[in-house]
Amino acid sequence: MKNDLIVEEMERELMRPGHMACPGCGEASTMRLVLKVLGEKTIVVILPSCVGVISATFPNATFAVPCFHSAFEIAAPTASGIANALKLQGREDVTALAFAGDGGTFDIGLQSLSGAADRNDNFIYVCLDNEAYMNTGIQSSSSTPQNAWTMTTPGGRRGRKKKFMQIIAAHRMPYAATASIGHPLDLMEKVRKAKEIKGMKFIHTLTPCSTGWRMPEDLSVKAAQLAVETKLFPLYEVIDGSEYRITHQPQGLPVSEYLKIQGRFRHFTKDDVDRLQKEVDEDWERLLAQSAMKGCV
Ligand SMILES: Cc1ncc(C[n+]2csc(CCOP(=O)(O)OP(=O)(O)O)c2C)c(N)n1
Ligand SMILES: [Mg+2]
């Protein structure tokens, strides 16, 4: 039965070809997989971001589902409004979905996202994290890794990447998870779960951007895999903000494997690499401890 469902999802195509994503765009591949699982009965909220460009360049539309183009700072409350209108109409078979970038999520949309999470509104929020404001020309966001190159941090960003899943977990929403195109079946399984759960669901996806990460376009999936296998971006779920579950055991490759394929880290010294490796190791130990405390708050 489950195999039939997976075949149906794989064959379903809700993203039309010929859209405006750069070759190797991690956001486009992520959205394609998410929509394969959610299916036709989905309404998508779109923000100013690369998604805005990918989804529609007048008069064309990329997604074969209804889309609502909203403002940069209000992905979550827009999806809340759609979800509540669907409820009033007795149409709870339709999924409200928001696609938002890291700028729209970690920075400008954080306050309104927090409000929607507090109300536990019934929608799925997929954060497409390419670690910068890419659509407007690669400006640093609070998701950009420390010392990474961007157009606004030519000597490397001074601030440190926000640990966003900790903020999300603190809201104690029914379901939150990390996912990536490097592990597509894991990603699809998480979307499948989110579809069945009532209330707010948040999926943090790492979406490599060959343009902004200064790497060849055919390395996006590899970059996504290396982020996971170096433990830099572990794959896990957080249920009700307290129950942590790791969904993939990483190989534990050195972070340098991930860094060396990307031009935005080309200036990294051995000290930079060692500092990042230490942070990744400490974060992984913390995640292991959290996942061992199943059921504890
Ligand atoms: C209130 C407001 N401020 C700024 C902008 C300009 N703007 C449009 S897209 C964008 C970058 C979005 O970055 P992110 O959310 O990370 O998505 P990405 O482009 O990386 O997919 C910005 C700054 C805007 N549309 N509205
Ligand atoms: Mg971005």
* Domains along the chain with CATH numbers: 2-292 (3.40.50.970)
pTM: 0.97
CB count in 10 Å sphere of residue 278 = 11
Is any atom of ligand 1 closer than 6 Å to the C-beta of 144?
no
294: confidence class by pLDDT, cuts 50, 70, 90: low
Is any atom of ligand 1 closer than 6 Å to the C-beta of 80?
no
DSSP state of 15: B
Return the bridge partners of 43, or none: 96
Report pLDDT digits (tens) over 182-241. 999 999 999 999 999 999 999 999 999 999 999 999 999 999 999 999 999 999 999 999
295: confidence class by pLDDT, cuts 50, 70, 90: very low
Give the distance (Å) from ligand 2 centre to CA of residue 130: 5
Residue whose Cα lies nearest atom 4 of ligand 1: it is 72
Is any atom of ligand 1 closer than 6 Å to the C-beta of 129?
no
- Atom index in ligand 1 nearest the CA of residue 48 equals 9
Report pLDDT digits (tens) over 127-181. 999 999 999 999 999 999 999 999 999 999 999 999 999 999 999 999 999 999 9
1: confidence class by pLDDT, cuts 50, 70, 90: low
Give the distance (Å) from ligand 2 centre to CA of residue 141: 8
Is any atom of ligand 1 closer than 6 Å to the C-beta of 101?
yes
Rounded CA-CA distance 87/93 in Å is 9
DSSP state of 153: B
Counting Cβ atoms within 10 Å, is residue 113 exposed (0-12), middle (13-18) or buried (19+)? buried
